Amino acid sequence: DTGVSQDPRHKITKRGQNVTFRCDPISEHNRLYWYRQTLGQGPEFLTYFQNEAQLEKSRLLSDRFSAERPKGSFSTLEIQRTEQGDSAMYLCASSLDTEQFFGPGTRLTVL
Amino acid sequence: KNQVEQSPQSLIILEGKNCTLQCNYTVSPFSNLRWYKQDTGRGPVSLTIMTFSENTKSNGRYTATLDADTKQSSLHITASQLSDSASYICVVSAAGDYKLSFGAGTTVTVRA
């Protein structure tokens, strides 16, 4: 399968714990995006990478959130000191031009 | 602020029937509009993409229309199947902007 992959698919954690999600984009795609989606809503933009450079971060990305794309390939999204409000689906997408291809998402539940 | 509004929020149809979903947007300058299908617990998958000059685009039983003058789009599902049960999201791109503007989606439930 050469699509966007995300790991894990589901994560349940206790409030205050740190979590890290991984995204592997389509191999030749230089652009990578992270989104957050809550129930009944469309995805909300979190951050964007072009190669290894993080070019934009949404104000939704508080200082507890950090994203990296160290070699311009896979990316990680870390949430520190999780809160119940962080419970959501975290989607990753990649693109070569304007069409973004989405991964299956990581469902985070914070208890 | 670029916005995308979808209606209805949800609908239930019987298998074999048709339905139409609506999308209104204020994104400017307009580049393209996509309809995505999102199954529960999965990422969105692109169904159609239309640019300014395109009025209609089909993908099997899915037909999308675009009126760039009124900034409206519709997605028509013909002869619905149980597998069409999903959320359908309208997504608009502004020219020169990599960020997408998402609607909240319409949840379609197809019943036997």
**Helical residues (DSSP H) of A8-84, grouped into ranges:** none
- Quick one: pLDDT band at residue A5, thresholds 50, 70, 90? very high
Q: Which residue in the set B32, B43, B105 is minimally distant from A91, CB to CB?
A: B43
Q: Which residue in the set B43, B98, B105 is minimally distant from A103, CB to CB?
A: B43
Alpha carbon of B42: minimum distance to chain A alpha carbons (Å): 5
Please, how many CA atoms are within 13 Å of residue A13, restricted to the half-sphere of its CB?
23
The more confidently predicted of residues A110 and B100 is A110
Alpha carbon of B64: minimum distance to chain A alpha carbons (Å): 17
pLDDT of residue A80: 97
Average pLDDT across chain A, whole number: 93
In chain A, positions 67-106, which contact chain B (CB-CB < 8 Å)?
89, 91, 93, 95, 98-105
> Is the preceding peptide bond at B8 cis, omega within 30 degrees of 0?
yes
Average pLDDT across chain B, whole number: 94
Determine the 3-state secondary structure of A84 from DSSP: helix
Return phi, psi of residue B82, to 5°.
Answer: -55, -35
| Among candidate residues B7, B1, B6, B11, the one with its CA nearest the CA of residue B86 | B11
pLDDT of residue A47: 95
Place of tokens 């339905």: B19
Check B89 against A99: CB less than 8 A apart: no
Residues B30/B55, Cβ–Cβ less than 8 Å? no
Check B98 against A102: CB less than 8 A apart: no
Q: Which residues contact A12 (CB under 8 A, 6 or more apart)?
A: A109, A111
Contacts with A45 from chain B: Cβ below 8 Å: 99-100
pLDDT digits (tens, 9 = 90+) for B46-100: 999 999 889 999 999 999 999 999 999 999 999 999 999 999 999 999 888 888 8
Least confident residue range of A102-111, B32-41, B72-81, B93-102:
B93-102
Q: Is the pLDDT of residue A104 over 90?
A: yes
Q: Does A25 touch chain B (CB under 8 A)?
A: no
pLDDT of residue A60: 81
pLDDT of residue A97: 82
What does the radius of gyration of chain B's CA atoms come to, in whole angstroms?
Answer: 13
Rounded Cα distance, A58 and B12, in Å: 35
Q: Is the pLDDT of residue A2 over 90?
A: no
- Quick one: pLDDT band at residue A84, thresholds 50, 70, 90? very high
Chain B interface test: which of A59, A98, A109 (most B C-beta within 10 Å):
A98
Q: What angle do CA A30, A32, B55 make, to 5 degrees?
A: 90
The more confidently predicted of residues A59 and B81 is B81
Check A105 against B43: CB less than 8 A apart: yes
Q: Is the pLDDT of residue A50 over 90?
A: yes
In chain A, positions 42-61, which contact chain B (CB-CB < 8 Å)?
42-45, 48, 56
